Chains A and B, each alone.
Chain A
Amino acid sequence: MVVAGADIGTECVKAIVATDDGKVVGRASVPTRGYFQDCYQEALGNALAEAQAKLADLRATVVTGFGASCAPLATRTVAETLCHARGAFHHLHRPMTLVDIGGRDPRVLRVDAHGGVTSTRSVRKCAVGIGTFLMFTSRHLDVHPTRLMDLATTAERPAQVGSYCSVFAEVEVIELLRQGATAGEIALGAMYSIADRIMEMDRLDGTVSISGGVCEYFPGVSRALGERSGCPVEIVPEPIMAGALGAALYAIDAARGGQA
């Protein structure tokens, strides 16, 4: 008997298939393009294939994320904050300050000793602190987004990338190149600017854990956040899957008859 959790995000749709004792047996991530429903079905299909299971084997499915309402057959939807906290807590088993950085809405969550969320702060309506911003930056550096981290590791110090507007940050990128900054310094600078925006959201203390897709692909953000905040920072295992994992854990609850 298996359950599924899916995190239908703005950049990627993530799906996890797990056994009812919490063992992950299938996982998949597909980029979000076109209709959410199609992406969701593709991701879920891939995860089921890896688990060698069929849709009919699912005892419960919990969805979360921006496109959660596009999965009409799901058992229930659960808020992203709760899913990320639960996913991270499943790995770490302790209270934490959890920073979730995905495509659009970074959040700072306080998670208590039982995995519950005690406070949430999200970003103001400004796009620089988010994953999409790194996609914009890579576009102007003429590299594939997955190469941005390799570039960043070549830099000794970050370039100062500091604009409120992601699109204007692109102009800054060209300006920086013109002034002689290397592509690596700019790539690293973009990661520091994400860390700076995160720092502005809430006061960070104790050990800071990071979940979400950004640190899956751009772990430089975690280094930058550690340096800027002075806090020890760790990336949750498989950070991009944390929300989907949390959703799958809620699905296990649902399969057991709803008791948490």
Chain B
Amino acid sequence: MNASARLKELMNAHFAGVDRAARERTAPVAWCTSVGPVELLRALGYEVFFPENHGAMLGASRVANEVMGRAHALGYSPEICSYLTSDIGSYLLKKTPLQRHGLSGAPRADVLVYSTNQCREVRDWFEFYAREWNVPVVGVTSFRDIGEVETHHVDAIVRQLEALVPTLESVAGRRLDAARLEEAVGLSRTCSELWGSCLRAGASRPAPMTFFDGTIHMGPAVVLRGTREACDYYRLLDAELRERVRAGVGALPRERFRIYWDGMPVWGRLRDLAALFARLETSVVASTYCNSWIFDALDPADPLPSMARASLELFIARAEGPKERYLEARIEEFSVDGVIFHDSRTCPNNSNARFGMPQRLRKATGTPVLVIDGDLNDLRCYSDEQARTNIEGFVEQLEGAPPRATA
């Protein structure tokens, strides 16, 4: 993809920017969870670092398993988030793929800002660094297993967001400016719309981009949300994808089957899995994971309440019912032949195969489902051999299935 070159520049500039701010004290530095209240930080002039992005880099570079043991020895169990354990291990052993971007390590934060809308681990993770650096850690303790997002949910989160402001202002040494917040929310909203449009291109046959490409291209939607650069990037990518769709160019030379992926990527096996699916002429056309950075609710006219609503409407924060309805809609939208659930050992909140959902979904939609065991970063929980047999067997099953009546 042509946009890839720009993506590389953009990510490099992002890392360099945060790193410079941390070293030369040219701007305050905040760490933020990937679906946390980043717009507040942008409005206050922070350079923002996203440790989950670093976690994914540790996984993809397979440094994770070399370093996470150090965190286990410190009392962070191998059963908890392997982003957390690999990031803390990486910090302690001073070993990180960020070195390839010219950084010696993750940039030191002046303040750490979390939202537990995804999981409790992010708070414990940030508290480790707060103790380490003696800097404030603040955040939003959110609701989980939300059925319908109600006004009282939104109000409660708005109050918590407001309560963050004094600390964030004091660390930044400036007051929150309403116009700048509106601007950041507006840019986040635009970025979210454009990224959403890129992902919806996957509904075309053949799909112009796979989930595996998506996990790379989503970088700016995570780390540069609320900036103009991110919007520009997705305009570029979207145009390229639309052109591919128009020309009928697919991500794979041949697309026999279309798959939806639920759950985390197996970062250390991204390339192998992409190659396996390509060999099977099966395109993973959409995923819950990449869709997680689409925030329909964001509204510059109503910054904090819309941020609150966006953080609550997130798939990961929802109850089984809304999650199931969401997946049913995606099966329809992307006309997929099968759904693969990745049961990620150390990420229960992003694993939706643990309460019978695949079975219910199969029953409700008639769509074949497959569950594979693995983990986002801890490859000890993943068996190459088993995953391969599971996936090849699933594709064989699709080959033998009667033609599906899809739109």
Q: Which stretch, A60-68, A99-107, A134-142, A196-204, touches the partner chain B?
A: A196-204
Chain A residues, Cβ within 8 Å of B383 = 163, 168, 171
How far apart are A230's CB and chain B's nearest CB, in angstroms? 10
Instruction: Name A165-202 residues within 8 Å CB distance of B.
Output: 168, 171, 175, 196-197, 199-202
CB 8 Å contact bits of B361-388 with A (1 = contact, 0 = none): 0000000000000000001110111000
Q: Is B73 an interface residue (CB 8 A)?
A: yes
Q: Is B219 an interface residue (CB 8 A)?
A: no
CA distance A202 to B76 in the complex (A): 11
Task: Tell me if B384 and A201 are in contact (CB < 8 A).
Answer: no
How far apart are A199's CB and chain B's nearest CB, in angstroms? 5
Name the residue on A nearest B345 (C-beta). Answer: A164
Task: Tell me if A196 and B385 are in contact (CB < 8 A).
Answer: no
Q: Which of B70, B73, B77, B379 has the most CB of A within 10 A?
A: B73
Q: Is A124 an interface residue (CB 8 A)?
A: yes
Main SS at interface, chain B: helix
Task: Tell me if B73 and A201 are in contact (CB < 8 A).
Answer: yes
CA distance A100 to B304 in the complex (A): 56
Task: Tell me if B70 and A199 are in contact (CB < 8 A).
Answer: yes
The one of A162, A171, A202 that contacts B73, using a Cβ cutoff of 8 Å:
A202
Task: Count how many chain A residues have C-beta atoms less than 8 Å from C-beta atoms of the other chain.
Answer: 16
Task: Tell me if B385 and A171 are in contact (CB < 8 A).
Answer: yes
Chain A residues, Cβ within 8 Å of B72 = 200-201
Interface residues on B, range: 10 to 19
CA distance A201 to B74 in the complex (A): 8
Name the residue on B nearest A121 (C-beta). Answer: B73
Chain B residues, Cβ within 8 Å of A164 = 78, 380-381
Chain A residues, Cβ within 8 Å of B74 = 203
Task: Tell me if B385 and A199 are in contact (CB < 8 A).
Answer: no
Name the residue on B nearest A124 (C-beta). Answer: B78
Chain B residues, Cβ within 8 Å of A171 = 383, 385
Task: Tell me if B69 and A196 are in contact (CB < 8 A).
Answer: yes
CA distance A126 to B69 in the complex (A): 14
Task: Tell me if A200 and B69 are in contact (CB < 8 A).
Answer: yes
CA distance A240 to B380 in the complex (A): 29
CA distance A211 to B272 in the complex (A): 41
CB 8 Å contact bits of B62-90 with A (1 = contact, 0 = none): 00010001101110011000000000000
CA distance A202 to B73 in the complex (A): 4
Chain B residues, Cβ within 8 Å of A201 = 72-73
Chain A residues, Cβ within 8 Å of B77 = 124
How far apart are A186's CB and chain B's nearest CB, in angstroms? 16
CA distance A197 to B65 in the complex (A): 11
Chain B residues, Cβ within 8 Å of A162 = 65, 379-380
How far apart are A138's CB and chain B's nearest CB, in angstroms? 21
How far apart are B69's CB and chain A's nearest CB, in angstroms? 4
CA distance A200 to B380 in the complex (A): 13
The one of B78, B379, B385 that contacts A200, using a Cβ cutoff of 8 Å:
B78
CA distance A203 to B69 in the complex (A): 10
Name the residue on B nearest A178 (C-beta). Answer: B385
**What is A's interface to B at a CB cutoff of 8 Å?**
124, 126, 162-164, 168, 171, 175, 196-197, 199-204
The 9 closest A-B CB pairs, nearest first, are A200-B72, A200-B69, A164-B380, A203-B73, A199-B69, A162-B380, A200-B73, A202-B73, A163-B380
Can you add 6 more A-B contacts, CB < 8 Å, to A124-B77, A164-B78, A204-B73?
A: A171-B383, A171-B385, A197-B69, A199-B69, A202-B73, A203-B74
| 9 A–B contacts from the bound complex (CB under 8 Å) | A126-B78, A162-B379, A162-B380, A164-B380, A175-B384, A199-B73, A200-B78, A202-B73, A203-B73
